[in-house]
Each structure stands twice: as C-alpha cells, then as structure tokens.
C-alpha cells in the first residue's frame, strides 16, 4: 500500500484519468473527492463487500 500525505485541496492522480482530492480534513474524518470518467465505477469498500455478499447469496439460492 502506498501512503500519501496531502493537505486540504491537494490531490494526486491515478493514471491519466482519475484525480483524488482532499476536500476537507478534520480531527476524525476526511472528505475525499474523486474525479473520474463516467465509465469508472467508484464505490466505498462496504458497498463492494455488500455486492459480493449479495452475489454469493444469489449463487447459493440459485438466483431465486
């Protein structure tokens, strides 16, 4: 894992098309902005895990 230190309104890029910006940083929370092309899906980890759980459940019950 790469760890990058940034201040508010600073950012970094992932490839030529994705930009990550620190919008606001507080004592316990950081607000992150993601600028990406419309075809790129951006999800929080817990949503990805939920999607995987839903797919596992679907596969287990035969898609019912």
Give DSSP secondary structure letters for 6-27: --TT-EEEETTTEEEEEEEE-S
Domain assignment of residue 51, yes or no? yes
Structure tokens at 20: 């990550």
Domain membership of residue 2 (yes or no) is no
Residue-wise burial string across 5-34, b where 16 or more C-beta atoms lie within 10 A, e elsewhere: eeeeeeeeeeeeeeebebeeeeeeeeeeee
Bridge partner residues of 22 (DSSP): 32
pLDDT at 46: 80
Average pLDDT over residues 54-63: 59
Report the predicted TM-score, pTM, of the whole model to 2 decimal places: 0.68
Give the domain range for residue 17: 11-60
3-53: per-residue pLDDT in tens?
999 999 999 999 999 999 999 999 999 999 999 999 998 888 888 776 566
Asked whether residue 21 is assigned to any structural domain, the reply reads yes
Domain assignment present for 29: yes
For the chain, what is the domain count? Answer: 1
Say if strands 11-14 and 30-35 run parallel, antiparallel, or are unpaired: unpaired
* 63 pLDDT more than 80: no
Structural domain contains residue 18? yes
pLDDT at 44: 85
Q: What is the pLDDT of residue 64?
A: 55
């Amino acid at each position: 894992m790469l760890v990058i230190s940034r201040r508010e309104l600073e950012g970094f890029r992932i490839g030529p098309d994705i930009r990550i910006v620190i919008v606001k940083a507080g004592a316990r929370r950081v607000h992150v902005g993601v600028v990406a092309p419309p075809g790129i899906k951006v999800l929080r980890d817990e949503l990805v895990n939920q999607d995987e759980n839903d797919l596992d459940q679907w596969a287990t019950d035969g898609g019912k």
